[in-house]
Amino acid sequence: MTDHTAATTNQHEDRSGWLATGAGVLGALAMTSCCILPLVLVSLGVTGVFIGQLTALYAYKWVTLSFAAATLAYGFWKAYRPVPAETCTDGTCARPIDRGLMRGLLWGALLVVLLALAFPALRPSF
């Protein structure tokens, strides 16, 4: 493999890893749309009729959970997958700071999904 091909492949891997991370974070945000998001918006002083209508999204909880689980699983796979040794021979390996940031974002998104799943049981205490 030439240097240009290795660099192009690594850039593609970098982009796909960030896309997977972004999709995981969006999946986590979709999970919060029915329960946690209205609470956060009201706490921040945002009011309006649309906030009450966000609870209608609870019917799609399992769809958003499936999307969040799939995107988080793919994101974790991209973030924790070992880099092949042949791509590191010319020094074009993924930067560790990028992977660390991706991993942090994915763990935060997973925490949000778990909080959204536990929110119906925790709601009476609020």
Digit-coded pLDDT (tens) for 18-64:
888 888 888 888 887 777 777 777 778 877 777 777 777 777 888 88
Alpha helices in 33-95 (DSSP H): 36-43, 49-53, 61-80, 85-88
- List, in order, residues 6 or more apart from 103 with CB less than 8 Å away: 79, 80
Provide the pLDDT for residue 7.
47
The whole-number pLDDT of residue 13 equals 58
pLDDT value, residue 59? 79
pLDDT > 60? residue 71: yes
Half-sphere exposure of 18 (CA within 13 A, CB side): 10
The average confidence (pLDDT) of the chain is 76
- Using alpha carbons only, how large is the chain's radius of gyration in Å? 19
Chain position carrying tokens 């799943």: 117
pTM value is 0.69
Per-residue pLDDT tens over the stretch 5-22: 444 455 555 677 788 888
Per-residue pLDDT, 6: 46
More confident residue, 8 or 119: 119
